[in-house]
Structure 1
Amino acid sequence: MVRPLSALIGAALALTVLTVPVSAQTPPPLQTVELFPQDPGSAVVEALQVVARPPGPALWLVEKGGAKLYVIGSAPPLPHQLKWDSPRLNRAMDQASLVLIPPEASVGPLQVTKFFLTGGGGVRYRPFSKNLEERLPADLKARFVSARERAGRTAVPYKDWKPAVAGFILLSDFRQAAGLSEAKPVSTIERMAKTKGVKVKAMSQYRLGPILASAGKLSDEANLACLRDALTELEYDGAHPTDMGTDWANGDLASVRARYSSSAAQRCVMRAPGGPALLAQQIGQSADALNEALNRPGVTIAVVDLAFLLPSNGVLDRLKASGATITSPAD
C-alpha cells in the first residue's frame, strides 16, 4: 500500500506537540501516564450551575467590554456520521462576523522535500534495518499487530517508521476504518460558517521546520512510551466508538470530562524535556487569540479543544483572569 504524500506528512506532523528539542542532559525517567489524568479542572467550569441542559454541545459565552465570544469545546475524534444540532450555536452564527478554529501548521516545500529525502527527518529507520514489529518488545508487538489487524492494515505501511510515529499513523488509520473523524467538529463548524457567509480564521500558525528537524530525537524509551500511549488510546476508541460523540453532542460535559482529558500526543509531550512548557505555551496562544477577539466589538465564535479549555489555568481560567465574564448562555 502506497501512502499518499499528504497522508505521510499529516501522520508525521501528528507529533507536533511531542517533538520538542531534546536537551543534551539525561532526560528524567519516564513516568506512567494515566489515560485520562485527573486535573482539578477549571474554576470557571466548577462554578457553573446549569439546572436544565439545553440541546447541543457545551457552549460558553465570554463577554468583555461589550464584545461577545461563544466558545464550543471540541473532543476529537467524533463519529463521522454523528448528527447534532445546537439552536444556541445557530443563533450565535447568525450574529457572528468571525469563527476562530485551532492553529494551523505552516511548512514550506523545501522543508517537506528535505524531510522525505533524509528518511523522515530521523523518524524512519535506516534502510536495511529490522522492520518495526521485529524491534518491538513482545507485549507491544502483540498489541500493535492486533491493532493494525483491527484497522485492516498489513505491516507494510508502518515497517520503516520509528515506534512513536508508527503509533500515530496506526491510530489515525484505525479511526478512519472505525468511522471516527479527527477533523470533527471543526470541519462541521467551518461548513456552518461558510454557509452563513461568516469568515473563518485559524487562531495562529506555527512553523514546522524545527519540529521536523527534532522529530528523530526522541529516545528509544520515549518512542516506546509514545507507542504505548497511542495504542492505549486506540484500544479505548475501539471499546467506546460512539459514547464520546453522543455525550459531546448532548452537552453532557460531566461524562465527557470523565473520559476525555488529552490526546496521546499531549500525554507524550509531558514526558519530553520542555514538554509541559510547550503545552502551556499553546494554551497561552489560544487564550491570547480569544482575548484579541474580545478587544473588538461584535460576536465571535471559537472552537477550542476541551483539553486546553477545561484544565486548571486553561483557556477559560485565563480569560476570566483577564477580566472577562464567563457564563452559560440562556436557551
Structure 2
Amino acid sequence: MRSYRLVPWMIPFLLFATATLAQPQEPAPSDPPPGGAVSDGPVIEMEAVVVSGVQPGPGLWKVRHGDHILYVLGTQSPLPKNITWRSDEVTLALQHADEVLGSPGITVDADVGFFRGLTMVPSAMKAMKNPDGEKLQDVLPADLYARWSMLKRQYMGRDGGIEKKRPLIAVFQLYQEALSRSGMKETGVIDPVINEVLKARKMKRTPTVLKVDIDDPRAALADFRKETLKGEDLACFRTTLDVIENDLPQVAARANAWAVGDWAALRSTAREDQRLACLSAWFNTETARKRGLTDLEQRMRATWLETAEGALRRNRITFATLPVSQLVKADGYLAHLQAKGYAVEAPE
C-alpha cells in the first residue's frame, strides 16, 4: 500500500505521504497538564497487546463483471510486527491472476536527474526544520508542548535534534516510535508475500497512482521553507498526540483483527490512520496550491477506478489491494464500483 515515491527534494512535502489519502479521524481529546507545565509524574501507558506467529489475514472481497472477477485484499496499517502472514487464498488468487494492480496513491515527480536530486538534499533537510532556527517550544502552544515533552520522554528519551524539526515531522517520528514500542509496524508484512509470488511469475504490478508533476522542485523547496505554522498543522499535531496517549490499544485491536481475519471486528473498528489526515496540512499550503496539488483524494480515486474498470473488462482474473477503510465505508472505492453496476461480494 506504500505507493508514494520519495525523491530527495520531496522529503518535507511527503514524509507523511506513504499511504492512501484519507479523511481525518477524530479521537477523543485528552486534557493537557494544568498550566501547560511538563508533569514530573509517571506516564501511564495503556496496554496494547498484539498477536504474533503465523496468521491468515482477512478473506478477499470480490468484484464481478460478468464472468470476470477482481479479487481485493483489504490492507491495514499498522500491523503486528512479529507475525508471519500466510494466506492460501491470496496466494492462489495471485497465481491465477492475469493482472495485479498496485495500491492507490500519489507520485510527485520532477524533471531532475539523480545527481541534481542529490544536490537538493541539503535544502530538503533544512526545509524539514522550523524557519529561523526556532524550536518546537517556540512555535507550539504551551499545552501542546507540555504533552509533546511528556510523550517524547516516554518514547524517545533525550533526542534534542527533533526539537528543531517542524511539528508535523516531529510528531510523525514520535508516532512511529510509539507504534514500535507497542509491537506494531507499518511496512514489511503484506508486500513481501505478494512480491514473492509476482517474482516467481515474472509479473509486475500495474500502477494505479496519480502522477503529479512539479516543474521546478528547487523553487518549491524555497517556497516551502518560508511556510509558517498553520491551524491544520496544530490540528494534526494534537490529533496524533491524542492517538498516542489514548488510542494505541484500539490501534492494536485493528491490527489484531486484520491478522486473524476477523472481518466483523474490522468492520466495527475500521478507521483511517490519523497521520494520513495530516496530509491536508501538508497540501493545504501556498506551495502546494501554486503547483496544482489540490483535490488529490478525488483525483486519486478516479485514477484507481479507471484502472480497475479497465482491468475488469479485459481480464478473467485481476488482483488488487485497497485499505480496509475503503472497502467498508459507504463512499469507499468498492461502493463506487457497486454504484456503477458491478456486483460486490464481501468475504464470508
TM range (shorter): 0.7 to 0.9
With over 3 angstroms needed to count, the CA separation of the structure-2 counterparts of 1:310 and 1:105, relative to structure 1, is same
With over 3 angstroms needed to count, the CA separation of the structure-2 counterparts of 1:197 and 1:256, relative to structure 1, is same
What pairs with 1:256-267 in structure 2 (closer than 5 Å)?
256-267=266-277
2:131 aligned residue (121, 126, 132) = 126
- Separation of aligned partners in 1, 2:186 and 2:89: 24
- Separation of aligned partners in 1, 2:122 and 2:325: 32
- Separation of aligned partners in 2, 1:238 and 1:329: 27
1:34 aligned residue (26, 41, 52) = 26
- Separation of aligned partners in 1, 2:241 and 2:214: 27
Q: Which amino acid aligns with 1:280?
A: Q
Q: What's the offset of the Cα at 1:115? A: 6.1
1:228 is aligned to 2:238? yes
- Separation of aligned partners in 2, 1:147 and 1:186: 30
SS at match of 1:61: strand
What pairs with 1:145-294 in structure 2 (closer than 5 Å)?
145-194=149-198, 196-197=200-201, 199-201=203-205, 202-204=207-209, 206-207=211-212, 209=214, 213=221, 217=227, 219-236=229-246, 238-240=248-250, 242-269=252-279, 272=284, 277-294=295-312
With over 3 angstroms needed to count, the CA separation of the structure-2 counterparts of 1:148 and 1:259, relative to structure 1, is farther
Contact 1:101 1:186 survives alignment (8 Å): no
- Separation of aligned partners in 2, 1:233 and 1:130: 26
Aligned length: 294
Percent of aligned pairs sharing the same letter: 22
Residue equivalent to 1:72? 73
SS at match of 1:295: helix
- Separation of aligned partners in 2, 1:65 and 1:9: 43
Q: What's the offset of the Cα at 1:78? A: 0.4
1:205-246 deviation line (CA, Å, top 9, x unaligned): 534748965756464322111111222233356434642222
Residue equivalent to 1:27? none
With over 3 angstroms needed to count, the CA separation of the structure-2 counterparts of 1:218 and 1:298, relative to structure 1, is farther
RMSD of aligned alpha carbons: 3.7
1:114 is aligned to 2:106? no
- Separation of aligned partners in 2, 1:225 and 1:182: 22
- Separation of aligned partners in 2, 1:232 and 1:76: 18
Q: What's the offset of the Cα at 1:163? A: 1.1
Residue equivalent to 1:304? 322
1:324 is aligned to 2:335? no
Q: What's the offset of the Cα at 1:152? A: 3.0
Q: What runs of 5+ residues in structure 1 fail to find an aligned partner?
A: 21-31, 37-54
2:148 aligned residue (119, 144, 147) = 144
- Separation of aligned partners in 1, 2:172 and 2:186: 12
TM-score of the pair, normalised by structure 1 = 0.72
Q: What's the offset of the Cα at 1:74? A: 0.9
TM-score of the pair, normalised by structure 2 = 0.69
Q: What's the offset of the Cα at 1:146? A: 2.9
- Separation of aligned partners in 1, 2:11 and 2:170: 12
1:184-210 deviation line (CA, Å, top 9, x unaligned): 544234334235426232322534748
SS at match of 2:178: helix
With over 3 angstroms needed to count, the CA separation of the structure-2 counterparts of 1:306 and 1:221, relative to structure 1, is same
